[in-house]
Every structure is written in structure tokens, then in C-alpha cells.
Amino acid sequence: MEIILAKNHGFCYGVKRAVEMANEAANNDGKSYTLGPIIHNPQVVGRLEDKGVSPVQEVSDIAEGTMIIRSHGVGPAIYEEAEEKGLHVVDATCPHVKKAQQDAKSVINEGMTLVILGEKNHPEVKSINLWANNEGIIIEDEESAQKLQVVEKMGVVVQTTFSQFKFNSIIDILEKKSKNLKVFKTICNATQERQNSAVDLA
Ligand code: SF4
């Protein structure tokens, strides 16, 4: 079988950074935990477990030690819970995801209707919405965009790995849904480069 590597492939900046931070935590004293697997790669998760970094589902699963937040990010309540428990927090939320979280928050603070383009059940999308009091309307296709009501002011934030092609066609529809449309194109560079490379290869 011939294997062709795309021009841009492999771990993105945010995932590399999160894995490095987890490795650093493993070298420190005390037990460390990641809130969910740090990456969708069982080999990397397994190697970290061998070094004493275990994935857990909830903050309540951690009695003491270090809690590592993965690149997808979490809502504000998780930081509060960790602080109350006196856990040491290593925040590996990707800076691009942090920006999307803060943009979503600003949309709500400015009294606009928040629309998030992304997958409803994706942890990153959930975390973005949590920073906006869970008030965002999450849509992922043109059909759902057509169904939205016309509103006075609308702000749009996008899952960092969303398709830029789909983004363009959904924004065309949303332009007719509000006279005051503010778009935060929070798709990250790594995603755009990889999507372009995939198109080139195809
Ligand atoms: S936002 Fe981009 S760089 Fe950051 S973790 Fe997601 S895909 Fe990777």
C-alpha cells in the first residue's frame, strides 16, 4: 500500500502543548489526573498512565494532587470546584479555544444572541457554551441555520475544528438572520491548513 502524507499532518500546536504539559506534571511530585483523556490516542494516554498521569471523568474523582485540563477546555464551574478542593490546576486549554470561550462570553455580555457553529456534544463546544452561561444556540449545518429566527443582534463563534467551507455557507444564511451580525471566525490555523492539505491530496 502506498501511503501519501499530507503537507500538514500530525499533532497540532494545542495538542502537542497539552501532552508536553501532562509530561511535565508527571515529572513533579504527587499524582496527576487529566479530566478526560488528554488526546484521542490510546498509546499516548497509556504512556502517560505509566508515568502516573491517569484520566478521570469528574473533579470529584480526584482526592488530591494535580488536575490537568485538556486542550478542549472546560467551563468556569470546573475551575471553582478544583479550587475548593485545593487541587493544583495545570490548564492546557488551547489558547485558540480560550479565545473562542472569551468571545462567546463577550457576545452574551453585549446582549447579543449567541450562535455557536459546531458539534453539540463535542467537549470543546460544550466548554465554549459554558463560558456563555450555556445560552448559545448550537448549530452545525445550513438547514439548522435556515430555521433560526431573525434577531436584532447576533454574535457567532465557531468550534476551532469546524469546516471552513461549511462556515462560509452558514454565514451567508446568518447574514439574513440579523442586521447586526458579529462573526468571530475562531477556526484555528492548524485546522485550516489540514483541511486545505486534505483537499489538495483529494
Ligand atoms: S484549537 Fe487548533 S491548535 Fe488548538 S487544540 Fe484545537 S485543533 Fe489544535
What local confidence, expressed as pLDDT, does residue 29 receive?
Answer: 73
Architecture of the domain defined by 13-93: 3-Layer(aba) Sandwich (3.40)
Q: List, for residues 106-121, the tens digit of each pLDDT value.
A: 999 999 999 999 999 9
Distance 4 CA to ligand 1 centre (A): 23
User: Nearest C-alpha to atom 5 of ligand 1 is from which residue?
Assistant: 14
Architecture of the domain defined by 96-194: 3-Layer(aba) Sandwich (3.40)
Distance 110 CA to ligand 1 centre (A): 26
Q: List, for residues 108-157, the tens digit of each pLDDT value.
A: 999 999 999 999 999 999 999 999 999 999 999 999 999 999 999 999 99
CB 184 within 8 A of CB 157: yes
Strands (E), 87-202: 88-91, 113-117, 137-139, 151-158, 178-184
Q: In terms of Cα–Cα distance, which of 111, 120, 112, 74 is closest to 93?
A: 74
**Would you call 124 a catalytic residue per the annotation?**
yes
Q: List, for residues 12-38, the tens digit of each pLDDT value.
A: 999 999 999 999 998 887 799 999 999
Which atom of ligand 1 has the smallest separation from the CA of 17? 5
Distances (CA, A) of 133 to 24, 76, 136: 33, 9, 8
What local confidence, expressed as pLDDT, does residue 40 receive?
Answer: 87
| Active-site residue, selected from the candidate residues 64, 81, 124, 152 | 124
Which atom of ligand 1 has the smallest separation from the CA of 160? 1
Q: What are the residue boundaries of the structural domains of the chain, listed by start?
A: 13-93, 96-194
DSSP 59: G
Q: List, for residues 39-89, the tens digit of each pLDDT value.
A: 989 999 999 999 999 999 999 999 999 999 999 999 999 999 999 999 999
Separation of alpha carbons 113 and 124, rounded Å? 20
